[in-house]
Each structure stands twice: as structure tokens, then as C-alpha cells.
Amino acid sequence: MDDIQIAQEIALGNQIVFEDFFNQHKLKVMNLCYGMVHNREVAEDLVQDIFIEIYSSAKYFKGNSKLSTWLYRIAVNKSINFLRKEKIKKFFVNIDDAKCITQSDDRADFSIEEKEKITNLYKIIDVLPSKQKQAIILFIYDELPQKEIAEIMDCSLASVEVLIHRAKKTIKIKTDKIYGNITEEG
């Protein structure tokens, strides 16, 4: 079954095809959302919204790109919209009252040092330029090939390479700065 047929079946309400499609992509979409928002519960809510959107707009899929690319585009846009809304919320709510959505503390498989490191990494990733953040998350969390990332982000392969390179460089400089300072103080 090709992508257009899958989209048509989903649009017609074929639950089996929709469930297969969901099972095939749920982890990648979940990781993409988790990479963007760093909170499992929020990521799950986003995954729900994304697949509901896929279900309701599958009839509009024309096959100009792969169905998975279309799905990831929707996922990226939903995550960005969520983060924008959160930013607006934080602007109006007192910082002390603002709910911190980072969830690294709940990870039992992480050591204290790793939890601290991942929290710092989240902070660094969150202040990256939006395109760099999208590219690095699709590359690391979703392990997507750069060509597919280029299709999702609607830019050239060379641009994606540059975005990932710059993001990695920024993350490295900032982490070195943080841990360099710690060792100097220690």
C-alpha cells in the first residue's frame, strides 16, 4: 500500500490502517515532541493532537512528499506552537509560579550527575535558534537521515548540515563553559 492509499484509508476511517500507521511512527513522533518540550506527559498530549490532526486532514494529503515527512512536519509545527504558547504563558505568569516542564528528575535510569548534565543540555538546546533546535532534535532524538530532515524542514541538505554543525558547536562551547567553570571553582 503506497502513501496515498494509506492516507485515503485513514481518511475513510479504516482503523486498522490508522493503528498500523500509528504504531509505525509513534516512537519517532514521541521522541521528536519530547526533544522539543522535554516533558513526557506534554509530549504524549502532543502525539495525541498530531495523530488526531493526521486523521482529520488525511484527505488533503496529495502525495507531494512522503506521508512520514508530512507527519513530522505536523509534529514539528505542533511542538513549536506549544512552545510559543508556553512562552506567552510564562510572560504573564510570575516566574516563581511558572510550572517547570523539564522532567529529567523523574528518570530513574539517570545518575545525579547525568540528570544535572541533561538539564543543562535542555537549557542550551532551548536557547538555540529555532531551525538549529529542530535540526538537532530530528538528528539526535529521531535519528533521521539528513536528507529526510531537509525535506521535513523544507530546506537544502547543505543547510541541514550547517544547522546541525552549528548546533553541535554551540552546545559544545556552552557545555565546556559550564563544566570548565565548575572545575575552575572546584
Can you give the binding site for another protein, defined by CB under 8 A?
15, 19, 22-23, 26-27, 30-31, 34-35, 40, 43-44, 47-48, 51-52, 55-56, 104, 107, 109-110, 114, 117-118, 121, 140-141, 168, 171-172, 175
Residue 94 CB, nearest approach to another protein (Å): 29
- Collapsing DSSP states into helix, strand and coil, what is residue 155? coil
Q: Residues 6 or more apart from 33 whose CB is under 8 A from it? A: 42, 43, 46, 47, 50, 75, 78, 79
How far apart, in whole angstroms, are the C-alpha atoms of residue 24 and residue 20?
6
Residue 3 CB, nearest approach to another protein (Å): 20
Residue 56 CB, nearest approach to another protein (Å): 8
Residue 123 CB, nearest approach to another protein (Å): 13
Q: How many residues does the chain have?
A: 186
Judged by beta carbon, residue 50 or residue 153, the one nearer another protein is 50
Judged by beta carbon, residue 16 or residue 95, the one nearer another protein is 16
Judged by beta carbon, residue 88 or residue 173, the one nearer another protein is 173
CA 49 to chain centre: 14
How far apart, in whole angstroms, are the C-alpha atoms of residue 87 and residue 135?
21
Specify the amino acid at residue 81.
N
Judged by beta carbon, residue 1 or residue 16, the one nearer another protein is 16
